[in-house]
Structure 1
């Protein structure tokens, strides 16, 4: 329950009402397989209207074969041989659920607006595959994308990382890993309500919103414990797994972060943005009043959801220096 000394910020009433129409599964050990069944298992819902093409590639990963899905608009505005920007997506799901087909509805809007290509990685999930499996899979997919950019039709200088929730945490960790391994130079990272820190620090939002809708404190502890096991919360955790732990945030590409005022990750995201600024990184940061975790995807017709999606689109436009009128 919320702390008496820290009353919970209110949910937006219309957003909360919209949530009642969406069956949110329980993200628990007992219901893990049921929660995984909540997510689509193919690309049909993304390609059904004929405006998006989907292909796949399989390649050798750190321990086993990995698969990426490649999405591109069927009608391109660019010359056939012209390389295009790439949105590299690491899906959300608390490190325990989701797949490369989930959470991409907004990304496909970006593809059409910017004539871009999306690469979505199928990384291995915890608890069956604990850290460092997820982040190493994501890095392997990024390397493959960069090394095969020409044949994929991608401009290797215009790779943007994106992810929601745990996917946002993986994108943040991936940016740190690419910097430290002298890997691909990234154009930017767009992090939506990223899951960044396993530690039980003095984040007020974790007390205010312990019983938050969609993703609560129990879910969060289960996700981190699934990923890190007994190391969760102690000193032996890599910043690539939990980017909120990073001591050095310098030398990173521009970052966009947004989060709801009524969600568990609010304060760790505020802290991460502040520390990025401290290290000289260009950051755009938004807190959406009354929004809860994943509310814009679950209730996309709400004005606040539309505003958040439009603001992300505008950041991408500026990053890519694309004029909508062209």
Structure 2
């Protein structure tokens, strides 16, 4: 079953007025094999006038590590953020950047990772995983698993409390974090204390065999972009019967035994319903779960840093992470 190639229209009147102006300047992606190189170049270009992350958060230091990947895979680059006021046995967060599995880098999330480290006191290991379509599943989640393995294997030397290692990410990064939690549960090698899923990309069936609600997905990340992202990581069209839960977390049959979870998403986000359904499944299985839905918010609305809805988002997710890291 193939659904319409057209994104839903007519949701502009539902957008929170404080974040509406961003839609006039944010470029339309229209991802395809032909446009992907130019979109990557655009997203990788320096932002003129952007603040220096070191000046914003001078009490956080950054080091770069190359850690062993899965057997037969290349080393994985990890950016490691440490707050200067950290304890001798700190909590840690494996952070996974977004980009629809085809865009982005760990470097792009430097300000966010510094903020997390500064406000929570946790160390943050940000994974610069390989991208699709050059790397197909399970390569991306295996790169993230390598970072989890590295933190556990070197917990003593890094001053990390191995019992308080959490996973987090936004968009595709949230999807990979959810897959990583499932993979860690099933392999049983390393415990995960918490998963922090920011508008996570969980279900390849959205916009391939299932339509989102009529007001979802008009802005920033559209049904067409979603199908391209999923086809890129899967190596075939999404929505079929053979998709692994280590690639699309919503495909997991049993969510019991997963770590306590935070999920947040905007009401106009293409991922709204798949995220709510995943939260509902977790709750029904006894997994402590916190869900936030922000009215008037589209995908990646937090790019507008001055909006009240963005303030609420940071308050909610940083507050939840702080509580989870107390152990």
The TM-score, its normalising length taken from structure 2, stands at 0.89
TM-superposed CA distance for 1:280, in Å, is 1.3
Question: Does 123-132 or 196-205 show the bigger shift?
Answer: 196-205
Identify the residue that residue 299 of structure 1 maps to in structure 2: 304
User: Aligned match of 1:68 in 71, 78, 101?
Assistant: 78
Identify the residue that residue 215 of structure 2 maps to in structure 1: 208
Identify the residue that residue 265 of structure 1 maps to in structure 2: 271
Identify the residue that residue 61 of structure 2 maps to in structure 1: 53
Identify the residue that residue 84 of structure 1 maps to in structure 2: 90
Alignment: residue pair count: 313
Q: 1:27 to 1:68 in 2, by over 3 A?
A: same
Identify the residue that residue 317 of structure 1 maps to in structure 2: 322
TM-superposed CA distance for 1:137, in Å, is 1.0
User: Aligned match of 1:223 in 223, 229, 233?
Assistant: 229
The 3-state SS of whatever aligns with 1:170 is helix
Q: 1:70 to 1:293 in 2, by over 3 A?
A: same
TM-superposed CA distance for 1:100, in Å, is 1.1
Using the alignment, how far apart are the partners of 1:144 and 1:105 within structure 2? 23
Q: Is the Cα–Cα contact under 8 Å of residues 29 and 225 in structure 2 kept in the other structure?
A: no
Pairing 1:123-138 to 2, within 5 Å after superposition: 123-138=129-144
- 2:21 paired with 1:17: yes
The 3-state SS of whatever aligns with 2:283 is helix
Q: 1:34 to 1:60 in 2, by over 3 A?
A: same
The TM-score, its normalising length taken from structure 1, stands at 0.89
Q: Is the Cα–Cα contact under 8 Å of residues 41 and 101 in structure 1 kept in the other structure?
A: no
- 2:248 paired with 1:248: no
Using the alignment, how far apart are the partners of 1:2 and 1:25 within structure 2? 12
Using the alignment, how far apart are the partners of 2:167 and 2:55 within structure 1? 25
Using the alignment, how far apart are the partners of 1:135 and 1:202 within structure 2? 24
Q: Is the Cα–Cα contact under 8 Å of residues 169 and 175 in structure 2 kept in the other structure?
A: yes
Using the alignment, how far apart are the partners of 2:17 and 2:164 within structure 1? 39
Query: Once the two structures are superposed, what CA deviation does each residue of 1:129-163 show, in whole Å capped at 9, x if it has no partner?
Result: 01111011111111111111122221111111110
Query: Once the two structures are superposed, what CA deviation does each residue of 1:213-239 show, in whole Å capped at 9, x if it has no partner?
Result: 110000000000001122521111110
Pairing 1:87-126 to 2, within 5 Å after superposition: 87-126=93-132
Identify the residue that residue 34 of structure 2 maps to in structure 1: 30
Q: What is the aligned-residue RMSD (CA, Å)?
A: 2.3
Query: Once the two structures are superposed, what CA deviation does each residue of 1:150-198 show, in whole Å capped at 9, x if it has no partner?
Result: 2222111111111000000000000000000002111101100000010
Q: Which runs of 5+ in 2 are unaligned?
A: 1-5
Q: Is the Cα–Cα contact under 8 Å of residues 87 and 159 in structure 1 kept in the other structure?
A: yes
Using the alignment, how far apart are the partners of 1:136 and 1:84 within structure 2? 24
Using the alignment, how far apart are the partners of 1:3 and 1:193 within structure 2? 19
Using the alignment, how far apart are the partners of 2:166 and 2:92 within structure 1? 6
